[in-house]
Homo-oligomer: A and B are copies of this chain.
Amino acid sequence: MTKILIVNPNRDTDMEAVILANARKCAPRDTEVDAKSVPSAPLFIENYVDEIVAGTGMLELIEKEEANYDAFIIACHSDVNMDALREKTSKPVIGIGQASLHVASMLGHSFSVIQTTRHSVPMKEDMIRKYGLWERCASVRSVPGDDPTVENMIKAAGEAVEEDGAEVIVLGCAGLAGQEGVIQDALGVPVVDGVACAVFLAAGLVRCGLTVSKRRKYNPQ
């Protein structure tokens, strides 16, 4: 039995429940998935300062739980503090941003990411470039009025498909998990939720005996 822990880098337990439900729905049968929030974290991660505030608690959580799980998932689409967690443990750590962007790249000519806030668009563009996936990115858009209702998600995603040529849509926030079905039905293109992707990727890595390289980048010794 593969055991995966979802690290929720904020302390909103409603969001934790949404994420966990979606994760379990998509997990292989031989995989057990738990989720834990970080008590000292901000209620929601919304900016660069929040990332620092959440950091210490995330490190403590992974230290405490390292022996109890086979792999870890960071349930924030900005993959906050992923490099530090990968440094801390030698078990696989997968960010849901990374997972969703790579899966989306495999499903069509180009993808667009839909963010819940306008100010987070540049940060997400940086992240896509960091992962080397810029060429397959059609656009990063945010929802009207920074209000991620299903209607607004469909509106922004629809514009990405019609105007930017996106063939795949990526949900830009962990809290949107579960919306993928209705948007997919409305637009007729694949809609990718990172939590689901991270779960089957992490489980697959464990099954194949793969983990993150400790050669140089994540090995400070």
Contacts and interface: CB of A to CB of B under 8 A. Distances in A.
Interface of A: 26-31, 46-49, 51-53, 55-56, 59, 81, 83-84, 86-88, 94, 98-99, 102-103, 105-110, 117-119, 121-123, 125-126, 129-136, 161, 165, 167-168, 181, 184, 188-190, 192-193, 196-197, 199-201, 203-205, 207-221
Nearest to A29: B30
Given A84-B48, A87-B48, A219-B119, A213 B107 contact: yes
Copies per assembly: 6
A211 B122 contact: no
Contacts of A55: 52, 55
A64 to B, nearest CB: 15
Contact of A197 (B98, B190, B208, B214): B208
7 contacts: A47-B87, A49-B84, A52-B52, A123-B217, A132-B134, A181-B209, A196-B208
A201 B122 contact: no
Given A84-B52, A167-B215, A204-B200, A125 B109 contact: yes
B105 A131 contact: yes
B201 A215 contact: no
Given A102-B106, A197-B208, A165 B121 contact: yes
A213 B168 contact: yes
Nearest to A98: B106
A161 B215 contact: yes
Given A109-B125, A121-B216, A131-B136, 13 more contacts: A26-B204, A48-B81, A48-B86, A52-B59, A55-B55, A108-B217, A129-B130, A132-B135, A132-B136, A134-B135, A167-B216, A196-B204, A201-B201
Contacts of A211: 107, 190
A88 B47 CA distance: 10
